[in-house]
C-alpha cells in the first residue's frame, strides 16, 4: 500500500527535502473530483514536523474535512487546537455589492489579511523552518463570492503569490474546469495555468466508468525556477509529466500506472 501511495508524492517531488516555494493548481471536473489530492496534501503536510496549513474553505464545512481526514488517519481537531491547521470558513462569505473600492470591507482583502497574519505569526515565532501551505478549496466558489469577478479572485491570488515569494509558502488551489466549459477563453483558468508550477488534472477515464479505476490524473510540472528567499537557484529548470490512474477506497487512494493493476 505504501508503494502505491507514494506515486503521487513521487510525482510531486514531495519526498525531496528541497521543496521551495511553488504554486500547485488542481483542475477537476464533475465526473472526477480532485478533492482527494487536497486531502492527501493536508495529511502529507501535517505529518511533517513544523508545518502549517492555512485552509480557505469555500465549498465544505470543517466537519467534512475532519471526517475524511480521520479516515485517512489524521486528527484535524487536534491539529487545529495545536495551531497547525488554520481553518477559515468562508461558506457564508459575500463580497458587498457596489464600488470596487469598498471591497476593502469584509471582502477578499480582509480574508487576505487573515492569511497574512497567520503566515507572519508562524514565521516569526518558530523561526524560518516552518513551511506554510495555503490551500484554497475552491477558486470557482471564490469567484462566486466575489460577485463573479474573476479579476478580484485573481487579485487575491496575486497577493497570496507574494506570500509565496516572501515567506516561501506553497499555494495549493483547487478549481473546476467544467464550470467554464461554455466560455471560449476562461481567463481565470488560463491565468492560473500561467501561475502554476505544478498542474494536476483529474479526469474520468476516456473509456468510461470502471469499477477498478476511478479516474486518471495527469500531472504537469512546468518549470521550477525556485526562488528561495532571495536565492536564485540554478539548475532547477525541469519539466516533468506523469500520468497515472487512481482508485478511491474507503480510507485511502490508490494510485498506479495504467496497466500495472492486475
Binding site for another protein (CB under 8 A): 11, 104, 109-110, 112-113, 116-117, 120, 151, 154-155, 158-159, 162, 165-166, 185, 187, 190-191, 193-194, 218, 222-223, 227, 230-232, 234-244, 257-258
- Taking the complex as a whole, the smallest distance from the CB of residue 148 to another protein amounts, in Å, to 15
Could you tell me the three cell numbers for 138? 475552491
In eight-state DSSP terms, residue 58 is S
- Cis before 138 (ω within 30): yes
- Taking the complex as a whole, the smallest distance from the CB of residue 92 to another protein amounts, in Å, to 20
- Taking the complex as a whole, the smallest distance from the CB of residue 156 to another protein amounts, in Å, to 9
- Taking the complex as a whole, the smallest distance from the CB of residue 219 to another protein amounts, in Å, to 9
Nearer to another protein, 68 or 134 (CB): 134
Nearer to another protein, 180 or 244 (CB): 244
Please give the helix or strand (H or E) that residue 81 lies within, else none: helix 76-81
CA–CA gap between residue 145 and residue 89 (Å, rounded): 13
- Taking the complex as a whole, the smallest distance from the CB of residue 138 to another protein amounts, in Å, to 21
Nearer to another protein, 79 or 107 (CB): 107
Nearer to another protein, 15 or 232 (CB): 232
In eight-state DSSP terms, residue 17 is S
Would you call 236 exposed, middle or buried from its count of C-beta atoms within 10 A (0-12, 13-18, 19+)? Answer: middle
The residue whose grid cell reads 487546537 is 81
- Taking the complex as a whole, the smallest distance from the CB of residue 256 to another protein amounts, in Å, to 9
Of 34, 43, 215, 221, give the one whose Cα is nearest residue 137: 34
Is residue 196 within 8 Å of 172, Cβ to Cβ?
no
Nearer to another protein, 46 or 90 (CB): 90
- Taking the complex as a whole, the smallest distance from the CB of residue 35 to another protein amounts, in Å, to 23
Is residue 225 within 8 Å of 236, Cβ to Cβ?
yes
Of 100, 118, 98, 99, give the one whose Cα is nearest residue 53: 118
DSSP string, 181-209: TT-SS-HHHHHHHHH-SEEEEEE--TT--
Nearer to another protein, 42 or 111 (CB): 111
Nearer to another protein, 131 or 164 (CB): 164
> Three-state DSSP class for 31?
coil
Amino acid at each position: 500500500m505504501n508503494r502505491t501511495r507514494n506515486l503521487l508524492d513521487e510525482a510531486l517531488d514531495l519526498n525531496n527535502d528541497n521543496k521551495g516555494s511553488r504554486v500547485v493548481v488542481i483542475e477537476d471536473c464533475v465526473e472526477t473530483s480532485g478533492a482527494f489530492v487536497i486531502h492527501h496534501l493536508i495529511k502529507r503536510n501535517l505529518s511533517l514536523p513544523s508545518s502549517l496549513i492555512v485552509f480557505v474553505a469555500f465549498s465544505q464545512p470543517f466537519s467534512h474535512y475532519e471526517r475524511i481526514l480521520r479516515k485517512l488517519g489524521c486528527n484535524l481537531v487536534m491539529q487545529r487546537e495545536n495551531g497547525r491547521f488554520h481553518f477559515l470558513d468562508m461558506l457564508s462569505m459575500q463580497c458587498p455589492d457596489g464600488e470596487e473600492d469598498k471591497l476593502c470591507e469584509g471582502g477578499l482583502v480582509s480574508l487576505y489579511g487573515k492569511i497574512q497574519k497567520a503566515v507572519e505569526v508562524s514565521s516569526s515565532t518558530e523561526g524560518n523552518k516552518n513551511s506554510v501551505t495555503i490551500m484554497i478549496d475552491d477558486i470557482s466558489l471564490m469567484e462566486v463570492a466575489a460577485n463573479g469577478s474573476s479579476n478580484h479572485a485573481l487579485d487575491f491570488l496575486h497577493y497570496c503569490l507574494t506570500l509565496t515569494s516572501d515567506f516561501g509558502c506553497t499555494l495549493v488551489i483547487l478549481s473546476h474546469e467544467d464550470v467554464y466549459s461554455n466560455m471560449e477563453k476562461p481567463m481565470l483558468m488560463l491565468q492560473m495555468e500561467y501561475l502554476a508550477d505544478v498542474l494536476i488534472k483529474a479526469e474520468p477515464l476516456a473509456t468510461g466508468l470502471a469499477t477498478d479505476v476511478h479516474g486518471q490524473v495527469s500531472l504537469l510540472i512546468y518549470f521550477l525556477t525556485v526562488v528561495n528567499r532571495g536565492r536564485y537557484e540554478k539548475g532547477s529548470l525541469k519539466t516533468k509529466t506523469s500520468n497515472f490512474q487512481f482508485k478511491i477506497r474507503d480510507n485511502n487512494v490508490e494510485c498506479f500506472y495504467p496497466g500495472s493493476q492486475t
